Amino acid sequence: MAVCERGYLCEVCGEDVAELTDSDLYLRYVLGEVDPETLHAQPERHIRCNPTLAQFIVAEGFAPVVVEGPFAKSALDPEFVAREEARVTRGYLRLLDLPTLGVPITEYPLAEVRARWQDPPAEGDGAPRGPGGMGDGEYESETPASPSAPAWRGA
């Protein structure tokens, strides 16, 4: 089978990441951790194949992920854990809703991420920002999706 016919394989387990709702890449995009201009070039993983992020999802229907070692939630500051659980769970719930929303890929990220990408950085604040104009429809792929690629994957 040609590579283009296999879809997007998880760099960890090697299996197909067939659904948007299983995509670690798109969860990180929704959270603002992946620059939209590099989204198409990033490796794909299942959410559960990235346990250090998946452990922060606290949602009905998502079995808890337990991590051992220094990056385990139990080894981290409880206030940080609470903030991460809230942030990552919100991102995950957004990811679950995306297939029914019918929004363009530029609107996948959480509202605060889109707002941050639209606003120019304040002078000297050093905050990471995505490209200006994101979320307002200016960033659209000009490459049509491959017929064998999942529709949610774009180019």
pLDDT value for 56:
97
**Tens of pLDDT, residues 118-139:** 876 666 555 554 444 333 333 2
- Do 14 and 22 contact (CB within 8 A), yes or no? no
Neighbours of 7 (CB within 10 A): 16
Q: Determine if the pTM surpasses 0.85.
A: no
Q: What angle do CA 126, 129, 135 make, to 5 degrees?
A: 155
Please, which pLDDT band fits residue 1 given cuts at 50, 70 and 90?
Answer: very low
The domains of the chain are located at 3-119+144-150
- Do 120 and 18 contact (CB within 8 A), yes or no? no
pLDDT value for 117:
85
**Tens of pLDDT, residues 29-51:** 999 999 999 998 999 999 999 99
In the numeric block, the tokens 């690629």 are attached to 149
